[in-house]
Amino acid sequence: MAGGNAIRGTRVGAGPMGESERGETAPRSRISYFCSNGHITTPSFASEADIPESWDCPRCGLPAGRDGENPPAPPRTEPYKTHLAYVKERRSDADGAAILEEALGRLRASREL
């Protein structure tokens, strides 16, 4: 036989009371947002709230706009760069050759000792 707890499986606020117990809901407006993958998101906002121009699509994560004919373009992703690619951006080939010669000179000098 189960325990004698009569409210087992329920939570506070659950039940037939409804809005009379919780009060009236704020007036809301539903705004549609469209992403470039064709998804439509319709969040609801309070009537007096500032409506954002863009919203993140919950299905694909791309930005969504309010214009269904011209949704925002997906953000351009930069390819992964290695450490060497970043170094090559900062240094010219001549600088790299000079640094290599300096390092090799120090290495040869330490081996002669």
Nearest to 47 by CA among 68, 31, 71: 31
Quick: pLDDT tens for 16-42. 655 566 677 789 999 999 999 999 999
Helices (H), the chain: 19-22, 83-90, 93-112
| R_g of the chain, CA atoms, integer Å | 31
Q: What is the rounded distance in angstroms from the CA atom of residue 26 to the CA atom of residue 19?
A: 12
Query: Which residues make up each annotated binding site for Zn(2+)?
Result: 35, 39, 57, 60
Quick: pLDDT tens for 52-109. 999 999 999 999 999 999 999 998 888 899 998 898 899 999 998 999 999 999 999 9
CB-based contacts of 71, cutoff 8 Å, min separation 6: 34, 35, 36, 64, 65
Query: Which residues make up each annotated binding site?
Result: 35, 39, 57, 60
pLDDT of 77 reads: 85
SS3 category, 95? helix
